[in-house]
Structure 1
Amino acid sequence: MSTPSVWTMDVILIPGFWLDGASWGAVTPTLERAGHRVHALTLPGLESPDADRRGITLRDHIDAVVAVVDRCEDKVVLAGHSGGGAIAYAVADARPDRIARVVYVDSAPLPHGRPINDKLSVVDGAIPLPDWSEFEEIDLRDLSDELRASFRARAVPQPAAVANDPLVLADERRYDVPTTVIACEFSSDLVREMLAQGNPMAAELGKIRDVELVDVHTGHWPQFTKPAELAEAILRCVEMS
């Protein structure tokens, strides 16, 4: 069990596609018991299935997180799951001097000009959670039928522009922000191999000067499948910051 920290950090949790702040519900108690202030965000357009998603852009999501960073007094730790990792990286680009560490939860930094995912099907300006058959088996590892049903019940259509807009980055000081990748679907050993080989998928990560890799062996949604392990991994990242 985690013991209260002697100092307090603001920890901003950024959900991936189709999810709101409550999706971190099984992770936040560990961080809070350790004495940290947790901001589990619900980004614009993800408030409910009936929320107005018209005109919401990737920049709107980035700006929403930047606004939380600006309200915090000291440096913060950002943790972004899946597509939320790209948003975290853009926030580090926007506020490099305010970010103590970026934690990528089964995600990685994207380079300038890349969309998060422009391959998903758009329906009326939004992207509904696809059928499970459209995911790889490795994505769904440990995601039981019960967890799949719970996920689908809570899923909110993603604003299409958030997935399709190119990421705009401008400040190379982002490469100085300490970084942790929590590897879930693919092991940290595989990520190291990709970095060593100069794999294009790891090119942006390879430019960051301080990178730690840790493993939480599960599928793409560890906040549901391995929440205790994920919470402890994020807590260790906070304690390093």
Structure 2
Amino acid sequence: MTNFVLVAGARLGASAWDEVAAELRAAGHEPRPLTLSGLAEMRGVAAGQQTHVRDIVDEVERLDLREVVLVGHSYSGIPVGQAAERIGDRLARVVFVDSSVPVDGESFLSGWPSGHVRKAIEENDGFWRPVGPEHYAGQGLTDEQIARIIDLSSPHPGATLTEPAVLTRPLGELPATYIKCLLDDEEPMPVVAELLKSESWELVEMDTGHWPMFSQPRELARILAESVATSALPS
């Protein structure tokens, strides 16, 4: 049995993983979806990026989890990548689901034209507000799935997007799977492409959009389960 700690991207909480968690549970694994501070049922809790890193590390340590696969989607790849370094030999693998990855000293908003996001955060009392259905067009989602994402979304604490990541070792040393969702962009971002040169990293492609836990939950669960077998292979 493998413990999967599942962390959704910006604006979403643990409930984003409901269908994936059901599939993993049916396959004999233990999924543990986690809501980060300031989101969903944790709204009202002050949060910066390092708060989110601690949320993940604390969950692993509180439950005394072993053979852990940390899974980060979108924004959450940044705190998940940092947490993966900090849980030591509890980690079996880290899986980045069409996500950003942490770069030491850089924030989620670094490296791309994000002035509009910073302005939106300033204008909305420090939060990145939820978006409408047009944001999810062309991502392999049904109207019902889009409506569900919107219903589950909450304002995202802006400080988590602007604070820098802190890495203690090269990220390429971690055993990792990167899942690229091809409807979002056919090529991984340059920093990810560089990390994929590491023998410890593998690339898996999905023919869907940026929210595969909604558009293809069964396929995503299968890939996550197979990542465990990858980690078990002799080096």
Give the TM-score, by structure 1 length: 0.82
How many residues are paired up? 221
Indicate whether 1:223 and 2:213 are aligned: yes
Shift of 1:25: 0.5
Report the equivalent of 2:11: 18
Q: From the superposition, tell whether residues 187 and 96 of structure 1 become closer, same or farther in structure 2 (CA, over 3 Å).
A: farther
1:110 maps to 2:110? no
Q: Which residue, out of 24, 37, 55, partners 1:64?
A: 55
Q: What does residue 178 of structure 2 align with?
A: 181
Q: Tell me the CA shift for residue 17 of structure 1.
A: 0.6
Matched, 1:94 2:86: yes
SS at match of 2:229: helix
- What do the CA deviations read for 1:61-97 (whole angstroms, capped 9, x no partner)? 1001001222334231111111111111111222243
**Shift of residue 125 of structure 1?**
1.5
Q: How far apart are the structure 2 equivalents of 1:190 and 1:200?
A: 11
2-structure distance, mates of 1:27, 1:208: 28
SS at match of 1:26: helix
Query: What's the offset of the Cα at 1:35?
Result: 1.6
What is the distance in 2 between the residues matched to 1:219 and 1:189? 10
For residue 175 of structure 1, report the CA deviation from its aligned partner.
3.1
Q: Which residue of 1 aligns with 2:223?
A: 233
Cα 1:66–1:178 change in 2 (3 A) is same
How far is 1:160 from its partner?
A: 0.7
Say if 1:31 and 1:231, in contact at 8 Å, map to a contact too: yes
Q: Kindly indicate whether residue 23 of structure 2 is the aligned counterpart of residue 30 of structure 1.
A: yes
Partner SS state of residue 40, structure 2: coil
Calculate the aligned-residue CA RMSD, in Å.
2.4
- Kindly state the Cα deviation for residue 171 of structure 1 after the two structures are TM-superposed: 2.6
Contact 2:6 2:34 in 1 (8 A): yes
Within-5 A mapping of 1:33-182: 33-48=26-41, 51-53=43-45, 55-70=46-61, 71-117=63-109, 119=114, 120=117, 121-122=120-121, 123-133=124-134, 135=135, 140-172=138-170, 174-182=171-179
C-alpha separation in 1, matches of 2:175 and 2:192 = 19
Query: Helix, strand or coil for the counterpart of 1:27?
Result: helix
Percent of pairs with identical residues = 32
1:77-125, Cα deviation, whole Å (9 max, x unpaired): 1111111111111112222432111111111423111111363221111
Whether contact under 8 Å (2:7, 2:14) holds in the other structure is yes
For the pair 1:202 / 2:199, whether they are aligned, the reply is: no
Structure 1 contact 116–164 (Cα < 8 Å) conserved: yes
CA distance in structure 2 between the partners assigned to 1:207 and 1:62 by the alignment: 26
The 1-side partners of 2:65 and 2:192 are apart by 35
C-alpha separation in 2, matches of 1:239 and 1:209: 16
Quote the offset at 1:213 in angstroms: 1.1
Counterpart of 2:201 (choices 186, 208, 211) is 211
Structure 1 CA distance for aligned equivalents of residues 208 and 220 of structure 2: 10
